[in-house]
Amino acid sequence: MANSTIIQPNKGHYNIAEELPSWEDFSWKDIETNFSWSQTGKVNMAYECVDRHVEAGFGEKTALHYIGEQEEYKLTYRDLKEKSDLWATVLKKRGVKKGDFVFVFLPKHPDCHIAMLAAIKLGAVVGPLFEAFMEDAVKERIQDCGGTFLIASPELVKRVQRDQLPSLTTVFITAEPEQCTGDEISLFEEARNVETEENIIEWVDLDHGLNIHYTSGSTGKPKGIIHAHRAMIQQYITGRWVLDLKEGDIYWCTAHPGWVTGTVYGVFAPLLNRTTTVIHGGRFGAEEWYDILERTGVTVWYSAPTAFRMLMAKGDKLISNYDLSKIRHILSVGEPLNPEIVRWGIETLSNRIHDTWWMTETGAQLIVNLPSEAIKPGSMGKPFPGIEAAILGEDGEILEAGAVGQLALKANWPSLMREVWKDPAKYSTYFPFDGWYLSGDLATIDETGYVFFQGRSDDMINSSGERIGPFEVESKLIEHPAVAEVGVIGKPDAVRGEIVKAFIVLNKEYQESKELLEELRLFVRSGLAAHAAPREIEFLEELPKTPISGKVLRRELKAREAKKSSDLLVNK
Ligand code: WT7
C-alpha cells in the first residue's frame, strides 16, 4: 500500500484546481452563500435545481437530453420548470401536501425527473422506486410508509398490488386515460385541464424531509432513509468540485433514481450546477453505451465498476469504433474500483477513473478523488474538504495509519440522513461512539490520508454496486414450499464484485433438481428484483447455526465458500 502507484492529474482536463479553498479554510457556511435562502430563509430543493436558473436567464439551456428506445428529445430548464409546476399543480389539486410521501415508480425518463421535482415543489417527501423492483419489493416500501400517493408508468404500475395496499388511495399514471385502469388518474389528461398555479412552491425548513430511499443491511427488512433539503449544500459542492461540472458539460450518470446515486448525482447535483444531463432509458449494453457517449458528446461520466468491467470485457477493439474524445472526466462509485480498471481507463479512454465513496445514509460523497489531486489506484481517495475520517477499533479508539478497522466519519456534514423512518433505535446504531458515524465498512488509511476499502464488517451483499440484504432474499426464499432452511451470502465474483449465493435445505418431500433450482431463482426474481435473485444455489443437508439461538451462520457459509475457491486454485 505504502508503495502503491501514484497517478498525477492531467491538469488540462479540469477546471477547479484554483477554486478549491485550502483544507483549513473550508467551511460549510461559506458554501451556503451560493444559495439565496442563506438570506431569505426560503428553501426548496426543486427551486434551487430548476427555477433559480430560469430566473437567472438560463431558461433556454438544455437541462435534459433523453435517449430512449423509441424517441429522443431535449428539455430546457424552462421546460423543466413549466412541466414540474404543472404536475405540482395537478398533485396539489389531488391532495398532495407538505410532508406527504409521494412514491415515483418510473423508468429512467424525463418524466421521472419531472415527477420527483413536482412532488418536492409541494414539500412532499419523494420516494423513487428502482425500476427493476417486483411486487414484494414495491409493496414493502409503500406499506412501510403508509404511502398515499404514487406516480407510475402504465407498465410498472402492474407490479403494484393495490388490493394489498389500502393506504394507497391515489395513483397517477404518466399516460393518457386509455392506458389507465380503475381509479387511476391520467397525469397527462389532468395536466391539460388545469392551469398552473402561481407560486406553487412550498417553502420549507432546511431540515424538512426531501426524499426517502430504502436500503438493506445485514439484518431485518430494508430501512427507509430520509434526507432533508439541507443535503443540497453538499450535493451542490461535490457536484462542482468532485464531478467538476461546468457550463459546457454534458453529464451522464448511469444510475436509476431508485438508487441514491441516481437521485443525488443523477437528478439533484447536475441540476444544482446547471448542467445538461443525459438520460438513457434502459439497462446496460456495451455498444449502446459507447453510442450514447459518442452521440451526446458526454464530457463527464459517473458510473460503477461492474459496468466498467463489462465494457473492459468487450475488448478495446469495440471502443476504437467510437469517438469518445469529448470525455474529460470519469468517476466511479458503489463497489471497489480495481486498479486494472483505472489502468484501462487511462489506456483506452485517456482518462483516470476517479473513485468516490459514500452510502445511502451519507447523502453525498464523503471520500473522493478530487480531479486536481494525485490518485492511488486501489484507494477510494481522501475525505472531501470539511470531512473528518478515521479508522476505529472495537471500542471506538482511533487506530494508527495502516491499521484495518471500522471506517468512521465525524458526523457533522450537511447531507447526513435525518431519520430512519419509524426507527429511531436503528438510527442510533449508526452512532455507537460519541460523534462518529459508523459506516459498517472496514478500511485502512495510509500515512498520506488515502483510504483503502477492505470489505464490509457485516453480511451485506454488494452485487454490481447494488446493495442487497441477505435477510430480504432469505425471507423470500423461505416462502417457497420447497425451502426448509436458507442462508444467503455474497460470493466474490470477477465481474460483479459479488454474486448472491443461496444455501438451501429442502423440505423432505422435495428433491434437488435443475428445474427446482431455476424455479427458486425465478421466485426471487419475480418477487423481489432480478439483482436479488441468487445466481448460485447449493442444496445442503443442514446449515451451520449458532448453538444457542439457532441462527444461520452466514459467516461460516462464506468461509466455506472462500476455502472452496482457494482449493480450486491449489488444484489447478
Ligand atoms: C456501500 C453503500 C451511494 C453510493 C452507492 C452505494 C459500498 C460504496 C464504494 C467504493 C468500495 C464502496 C460500501 C458502502 N461502496 N462506494 N468507492 N469502494 N465500496 O450506496 O447502496 O448505500 O451502499 O457500498 O460497502 O458501505 P449504498
Place of cell 436503528: 426
Residue 541 confidence (pLDDT): 95
Measure 381 CA to ligand 1 centroid, in angstroms. Answer: 13
**Closest atom of ligand 1 relative to the 362 alpha carbon:** 3
pLDDT (0 to 100) of residue 2: 44
Lowest pLDDT segment from 272-286, 343-357, 407-421, 546-560: 546-560
What is the model's pLDDT at position 22?
Answer: 74
The residue whose C-alpha atom lies closest to atom 23 belonging to ligand 1 is 359
- pTM strictly above 0.80: yes
Distance 347 CA to ligand 1 centre (A): 26
Looking at residue 108, its pLDDT comes to: 97
464-513 pLDDT, tens digit each: 999 999 999 999 999 999 999 999 999 999 999 999 999 999 999 999 99
What separation in Å is there between the alpha carbon of 360 and the centre of ligand 1? Answer: 8
Mode of pairing for the β-strands spanning 149-152 and 125-128: unpaired
Please identify, in words, the CATH class of the domain defined by 459-571.
alpha beta
Compute the distance between CA of residue 65 and CA of residue 55 in angstroms, rounded to an integer: 21
Pocket test for ligand 1, best of 420, 441, 459, 498 (most atoms within 8 A of CB): 441
Rounded to the nearest angstrom, the distance between the alpha carbon of 432 and the centre of ligand 1 is 20
Dump pLDDT digits (tens) for 369-404: 999 899 999 999 999 999 999 999 999 999 999 999
pLDDT value at 73 more than 50 = yes
CA of 89 to the centre of ligand 1 (A): 37
Q: Where are the domains of the chain?
A: 23-445, 459-571
Nearest ligand 1 atom, CA 361: 22
What ligand 1 atom has the least distance to the C-alpha of 356?
A: 17
pLDDT at position 568 is 61
Closest Cα to atom 27 of ligand 1: 359
Q: What ligand 1 atom has the least distance to the C-alpha of 259?
A: 21
**pLDDT number for residue 562:** 86
215, 226, 462, best to mutate for ligand 1 pocket (most atoms within 8 Å of CB): 462
Q: Which of 261, 265, 337, 453 to mutate to test the pocket of ligand 1 (most atoms within 8 A of CB)?
A: 453
3-state secondary structure (DSSP) of residue 476: helix
CA 505 to ligand 1 centroid distance, Å:
31
Cα 357 to averaged position of ligand 1 atoms, centre (Å) = 6
- Identify each DSSP E strand in 411-523 by its residue range: 419-420, 436-445, 451-456, 461-463, 466-468, 483-493, 497-506
* Atom 2 of ligand 1, residue of closest alpha carbon: 359
Amino acid, single-letter form, for residue 447: E
Residue of the CA atom closest to atom 21 of ligand 1:
467
Place of cell 438560463: 58
Nearest partner of 180 among 160, 200, 195, 198, judged by Cα = 160
Which phi and psi (to 5°) does residue 492 adopt? -55, 140
**What pLDDT does residue 234 have?**
98
- Ligand 1 shell residues, CB under 6 Å: 215, 260-261, 333-336, 355-360, 380, 439-441, 453, 456, 462, 467
Mean pLDDT, the chain, rounded, equals: 94
Residue 452 Cα to ligand 1 middle (Å)? 13
What separation in Å is there between the alpha carbon of 564 and the centre of ligand 1?
27
Top mutation candidate among 242, 358, 439, 498 for ligand 1, by most atoms within 8 Å of CB = 358
Contacts of 204 (CB under 8 A, 6+ apart): 43, 44, 98, 123, 229
Pairing of strands 461-463, 223-228: unpaired
What separation in Å is there between the alpha carbon of 356 and the centre of ligand 1?
9
pLDDT of 12 above 70: no
Helix (H) or strand (E) holding 170, with range, is strand 170-173
User: Given the CA of residue 264, which atom of ligand 1 is nearest to it?
Assistant: 3
d(CA 222, CA 216): 4
- 279 sits in which H/E element: strand 276-280
Residue 385 identity (one-letter amino acid): P
Give SS3 for 410. Answer: strand
**Confidence at residue 24, expressed as pLDDT on a 0 to 100 scale:** 81
Q: What is the whole-number distance in angstroms between the Cα of residue 334 and the centre of ligand 1?
A: 4
Return the residue whose CA atom lies nearest to atom 1 of ligand 1.
Answer: 359
Residues 173-223: pLDDT tens digits?
999 999 999 999 999 999 999 999 999 999 999 999 999 999 987 778 899
- Report whether pLDDT(572) > 50: no
Ligand 1 nearest-atom number relative to CA 465: 6
> Distance from the CA of 181 to the center of ligand 1, in angstroms?
39
Q: State how far the Cα of 557 lies from the Cα of 490, in Å rounded to an integer.
A: 10
- For residue 289, the CA-to-ligand 1 centroid distance in Å is 23
Pocket-testing residue among 211, 357, 369, 409, ligand 1, by greatest number of atoms within 8 A of Cβ = 357
How far away, in angstroms, is 333 Cα from ligand 1 center?
A: 7
Among 467, 468, 472, the mutation site with the greatest number of ligand 1 atoms within 8 A of its Cβ is 467
Query: In ligand 1, which atom is closest to the CA atom of 367?
Result: 17
C-alpha span between 219 and 472 (Å, rounded): 8
Q: What is the pLDDT of residue 571?
A: 46
208: closest CA among 228, 225, 192? 228
Classify domain 23-445 by CATH number. 3.40.50.12780
The residue whose grid cell reads 474524445 is 325
What would the grid cell of residue 176 be?
Answer: 393518457
ipTM computed for the complex: 0.99
Which of 303, 335, 380, 459 to probe ligand 1 with, by most ligand atoms within 8 A of CB? Answer: 335
CA–CA separation, 563 and 571 (whole Å): 12
